[in-house]
Every structure is written in structure tokens, then in C-alpha cells.
């Protein structure tokens, strides 16, 4: 069945460091891929998405590229801020409203 | 727009008690879902609905009931609470954007079952 695998956290970085959070998926066909972010005490918010191979989603300085050949959708940011501290979830859907989530990666950014 | 609202924010139950978690959305979305979030397991789908009067089971439906009498509301009922249902519950609603579905999440309900 479909599944999403993310790197385990927590990821601890200093402010202005480069961020990569790995995400790989297993699915048939061409799913849509998402990154959601959960700030402390809040619900999930869509951060970015990509719907077809080689698409790049971007938002708030974060980027992720849909790589069909490696079944990956890694999240990157060139310079993180303390305010980026949150839990990040990779997810996929096969053109339905059902989302399949990874286990989440906690990011902690220190000044 | 209030988006997706959930009540209560926190709840403590004793084993065997029943309760209903409320969820409402004001975006006229057809699709609504309930997830539970547990440490190390991400979010798992409990039940979902593709429109008023239509519901279906997700990955972990046992112990929960849902109904969808209106487009706006999608309550989740715990019939007889168990400690294994201690979790954070999120309601979400979906709109169709192009070929993908963007889900909007509520702030969550933290449930503890003693």
C-alpha cells in the first residue's frame, strides 16, 4: 500500500543554517505530495505541494521538488529562523481527500 | 471565515464514558475527515465524508462513529472511551485545487482517557 517515510528528528540547527528534511514515498501512479507544518499548540497548515513529477513547491523560503525517479520530496530551506521551529509532516494523496502522513520531523532552531 | 473549528480543546474522560467531539467548517467544503495524532505515528485517518449523508471508514475506525447531516458539521463520537483512545484529534476539510486536494485543519482536541 501507499506509505511515506521521513527522517526521524529532532533536527537541531542554529539560526541561518541550511535545512534538509528527507521524505520518500511508496505509491502507485503519480500521487500528489505535500509538506504540512505544525507549530506548537496548533493544527497542521499546508506549507507547500507538488502534483506532478519535477514540480517544485515553494513557500516562505522552503522548497521541495517532486522526484519520481527517486520517489522523494525532500524539504529544504537555505537559512532557517527560530520561528521555523515546528513539526514538519510529509504526506501524499492519490487524487482523493485521504492523506497519508509520515511520522513527522521536529525541527528546533536555536539563536 | 473561521475556517475549521473544533470543540472542546481539552477533555478528560473515564474509561467507558462516551462523548462527542465537535467539528464545523464554514468554507462549504464537500470533504471532511477526522485524524488522530499519536507520538511517533504521524496522523492516521479515522473516518471521512465526501458530502452530507455519506461517510466511510479510514485506517483506524474502531471505537468511533461519525455522521454528516449537514455540509458544515462532522461530529466524532466515542462510544465507550478506552485509554488507547488518548490522543490528539484533528478535524480537516478539503477543497479541490486543480488536481490536488488541499486540506485545512482545525486546532485539535486533546483527549485523555483515564
pLDDT tens digit sequence for A43-87: 899 999 998 899 999 999 999 999 999 999 999 999 999 999 999
Judge whether residue B98 has pLDDT over 70.
no
- What value, to the nearest 5°, has the Cα angle with vertex B51 and ends B45 and B57? 30
Contact with chain A for residue B5, Cβ under 8 A:
no
Question: Residue B112: which pLDDT band, with cuts at 50, 70 and 90?
Answer: very high
Q: B103, A97: Cβ pair inside 8 Å?
A: yes
- What value, to the nearest 5°, has the Cα angle with vertex A108 and ends A103 and A110? 175
Judge whether residue B101 has pLDDT over 90.
no
Q: A46, B101: Cβ pair inside 8 Å?
A: no
pLDDT tens digit sequence for B34-80: 999 998 888 999 999 988 999 999 999 999 999 999 999 999 999 99
Question: Residue A9: which pLDDT band, with cuts at 50, 70 and 90?
Answer: confident
* B100: nearest CB among A36, A45, A49: A49
Q: A97, B94: Cβ pair inside 8 Å?
A: yes
| Residue carrying C-alpha cell 487524487 | A95
* B100: nearest CB among A4, A32, A42: A32
Structure-derived torsion over alpha carbons of residues B45, B47, B49, B54, reported in degrees to the nearest 10:
150
pLDDT at B113: 97
Judge whether residue B96 has pLDDT over 70.
no
Nearest CA in chain B to A5: B42
Q: Single out the residue of B88, B92, B101, B100 nearest to residue B74, CA to CA.
A: B92
* Most B-contacting residue of A1, A5, A44, A106 (CB-CB within 10 A), to test interface: A44
Contact B4, B68 (CB under 8 A): no
% of chain B with per-residue pLDDT over 90? 79
- What value, to the nearest 5°, has the Cα angle with vertex A110 and ends A57 and A88? 30
Phi, psi angle pair for B29, to nearest 5°: -80, 140
CA distance A90 to B48: 20
CB neighbours of B93 closer than 8 A, spacing ≥ 6? B4, B25, B27, B29, B31, B32, B33, B74, B103, B104
Judge whether residue B102 has pLDDT over 90.
no
Q: Single out the residue of B96, B78, B93 nearest to residue B20, CA to CA.
A: B78
Contact with chain A for residue B99, Cβ under 8 A:
yes
**Beta-bridge mates of residue B56:** B48
Q: Using an 8 Å CB-CB cutoff, list chain B residues near A43.
A: 4, 90, 105-108
CA distance B45 to A109: 30
Contact A62, A49 (CB under 8 A): no
Q: For chain B, give the mean pLDDT.
A: 92
At residue B68, the 3 state secondary structure works out as coil
Contact A4, A92 (CB under 8 A): yes
Question: Residue A7: which pLDDT band, with cuts at 50, 70 and 90?
Answer: confident
pLDDT at B100: 61
* B42: nearest CB among A32, A49, A102: A102
Q: Using an 8 Å CB-CB cutoff, list chain B residues near A90.
A: none
Amino acid at each position: 500500500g501507499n506509505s511515506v517515510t521521513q527522517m526521524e528528528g529532532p533536527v537541531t540547527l542554529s539560526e541561518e543554517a541550511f535545512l534538509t528534511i528527507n521524505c520518500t514515498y511508496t505509491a502507485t501512479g503519480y500521487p500528489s505530495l505535500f509538506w504540512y507544518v505544525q507549530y506548537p499548540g496548533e493544527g497542521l497548515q499546508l506549507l507547500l505541494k507538488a502534483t506532478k513529477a519535477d514540480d517544485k513547491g515553494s513557500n516562505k523560503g522552503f522548497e521541495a521538488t517532486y522526484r519520481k525517479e527517486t520517489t522523494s520530496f525532500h524539504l529544504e530551506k537555505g537559512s532557517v529562523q527560530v520561528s521555523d521551529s515546528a513539526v514538519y509532516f510529509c504526506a501524499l494523496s492519490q487524487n482523493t481527500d485521504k492523506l497519508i502522513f509520515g511520522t513527522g520531523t521536529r525541527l528546533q532552531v536555536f539563536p | 471565515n473561521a475556517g475549521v473549528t473544533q470543540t472542546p480543546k481539552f477533555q478528560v474522560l473515564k474509561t467507558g464514558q462516551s462523548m462527542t467531539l465537535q467539528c464545523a467548517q464554514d468554507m462549504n467544503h464537500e470533504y471532511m475527515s477526522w485524524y488522530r495524532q499519536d507520538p511517533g505515528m504521524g496522523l492516521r485517518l479515522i473516518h471521512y465524508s465526501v458530502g452530507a449523508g455519506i461517510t466511510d471508514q479510514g485506517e483506524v475506525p474502531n471505537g468511533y462513529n461519525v455522521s454528516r447531516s449537514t455540509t458544515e458539521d462532522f461530529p466524532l463520537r466515542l462510544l465507550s472511551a478506552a485509554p488507547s483512545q488518548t490522543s490528539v484529534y484533528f478535524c480537516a476539510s478539503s477543497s479541490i485545487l486543480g488536481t490536488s486536494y488541499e486540506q485545512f485543519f482545525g486546532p485539535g482536541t486533546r483527549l485523555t482517557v483515564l
